Structure 1
């Protein structure tokens, strides 16, 4: 199947999952995870109407997306090394993987120092909650850390929290995956109650293997790669 056909199939699956959850598909955005994918496939997805893309690495995204139109909304979904912050903020429209207080402080400091070089102001971020035990997964290890960091960021200039992100455990056990998503949603509700002047409306949860469960648990942004582009190159 072509990328256009895969995109149509995905949108139909999202609509069906939303209906099952008593939601509307208009509440849910689809991100094309284009890491490791060649520019030709990214252009094909763009030509099919896709505008939201996610990349894991700063240098790869910088190279591939330099020639894409400006209406692309490009998000970083991988760990952002502190020595790559300045470049990352010139490339990405949103940092979904804000995974530590130290990185939050680095973003704020970079805003103060490099305000005229950034792609988007204020810096849009999601706070990443670690809900999986795999060693390769990053994120805040406790909800308390996220709550404290969110409270600190409210007092700073230049960074706008838009919600939360999580990567569920790598398992086909639906109950385990949905429990991870539910934990993130419950934290979102807690943050909305604590900080009523903030948005927190984005819940970035769900990938190719579990996005239908994520929709059932309230996801508003799905990060889908292989189901759209096919296997890795």
Structure 2
């Protein structure tokens, strides 16, 4: 088994136990975006089944021939012109963040006759450089997704500001989810996933701690 995978799974299990949560309550999303295949293969071979990708095209090139038995999540920004491919290819889209995208996804889901599970991305720290709906607009946007576009919102996703204590941001996302009857929370990455689990994450997105730091071109 991949040593890194075993270590991360152990840390998740310990965090679940500390939070008084059942074992296996939290899904590990292995963030394979931009990683070379030789880094991904050992983790896949060790039994990891859920992977997160940033770009539709890159994900299709990497996973199309290896799709069987896996759950693939889009965790990067989705352009409307890629919505058709995303609906067809991904099991989960975690980055629904604007009305135009919601409308296009609704159309593509209707045409395809199949729907990925959908998460609304909330710009929890209200950072201008980040995607996501503003926290004070989240309730209205979730309602519009459901009522206007017929999109069942399964979860919320966020990326807290890098240099801030993530716990209050995770707690804020949990509060938005609770008052909107949203069950799933995708929050926490390599540096803060244990804090996210304590704050109610149902999935954590771990890349560098599993695969090593990315070599960006």
**Normalised TM-score (structure 1):** 0.86
Alignment of 1:22 with 2:11, yes or no, is no
- Tell me the residue number matched to 1:228: 210
Distance 1:155 1:7 in 2: 40
- Tell me the residue number matched to 1:146: 138
- Tell me the residue number matched to 1:115: 112
Give the paired residue count.
215
The structural deviation recorded for 1:135 is 3.5
What stretches of structure 1 of length at least 5 have no aligned partner?
193-199
1:37-77 Cα distance to aligned partner (Å, 9 max, x none) = 12233222111110000000111111001121421100000
- Tell me the residue number matched to 2:39: 41
Distance 1:54 1:32 in 2: 6
Which of 52, 55, 80 does residue 54 from structure 1 map onto? 52
Q: Does the aligned pair in 1 maintain the 2:138–2:176 contact within 8 Å?
A: no
Distance 2:39 2:91 in 1: 21
Cα–Cα, structure 1 residues 137 and 157, in superposed 2: closer, same or farther, change >3 Å? Answer: closer
Distance 2:194 2:116 in 1: 30
What stretches of structure 2 of length at least 5 have no aligned partner?
none
C-alpha RMSD of the superposition: 1.7
Distance 1:67 1:41 in 2: 17
Distance 1:129 1:152 in 2: 15
**Normalised TM-score (structure 2):** 0.92
